[in-house]
Amino acid sequence: MEARREHFLTEIDRQTRSRSPRRAPRSRGRWGLAAGAAMAAGAAVVVLTLGSSSSDAPLNTPPASVASVELLERAALAAAATTPQTKVRAGQYSYVKTVGHTSVLSEGKSGDVQLLRESEAMEQWTSVDGSERTLQRKDGSDSLVPETPGRGSLNAPTYDFLAALPTDPDALLKQIRDDVQKNHGAGSDSTTGPDQEAFVTIGDLLRSGVTPPDTAASLYRAAALISGVDIVTDVVDAAGRKGVAVARTHEGERTEWIFDESTARLLGERTVLVEDNAWGKAGTVVTSVAVINSGIVDEAGRVP
């Protein structure tokens, strides 16, 4: 317990001193360590989100496995074959509904540390052109995100932003790498590193809402160019659906994108510990988020 508490406090200190800006919460399951204070409970809290550990992959990390490349290509072909029912236009919204959980490490006044779960069951409507505020619905309650998305970014994508991304996988991966290199490359205080951050970024973009077919296909093919990507069989998403995963392991934590094995459709994402650490035992699913429904709608609050 004391070792776990020391690790927890070390992470808070590291985040406080970090020069790297925190990314916007585009991902419902982003594994980073964000220290905060729960004023009412008087507790320190660390939220576990996908993709953050100590160093980047070693130089001898193998290229993506043949099996993972094959699955990603199947996913790319399936995505490219998707035809929108109508042309997306200004004034519409990208809708996504998710279920699942993220993990929160909380230290109370007495010094005891507990790993808690926070629900990621929610619905979200994002303006396709970023001109209107994003609507979120949790536990039957609606709220508007304070700022409009604007044009969008890799951290907070809109449909129009995604549609403007390169459809050449090499060019797309270069753009993503150039972006993450600023905050996660050599000389930064990043706890992720550019390879893992690129993998996590692609996963976030793919399940952020509705991704244009050509962009989705390019994202899958770009992921196949990242070293250390492999496959995991017999996995289950947050909705209880069985599938097969494309995964990347980083410092004892495996990030998995779960696909329907027959259709290669993306079901969700989860992170599993492959080594015992301060957050739990090997095999612990610390985050798991499944996409239940998505589509383009005419008004915020409507569903496809």
Are 235 and 209 a contacting pair, CB within 8 Å? Answer: no
Structure confidence at residue 264 (pLDDT): 97
Structure confidence at residue 31 (pLDDT): 32
Structure confidence at residue 86 (pLDDT): 74
Residues 95, 302: Cα–Cα separation, whole Å: 8
> Helices 169-184 and 194-206: crossing angle, nearest 10°?
120
The residues, any chain, with a CB within 8 Å of residue 40's CB and separated by 6 or more, are none
> Helices 213-223 and 169-184: crossing angle, nearest 10°?
70
Which regions of the chain are under pLDDT 50? 1-5, 7-57
The pLDDT tens digits of the residues spanning 53-111 come to 333 445 578 999 999 999 999 999 999 998 766 789 999 999 999 999 998 877 777 77
Structure confidence at residue 192 (pLDDT): 66
Residues 205, 215: Cα–Cα separation, whole Å: 10
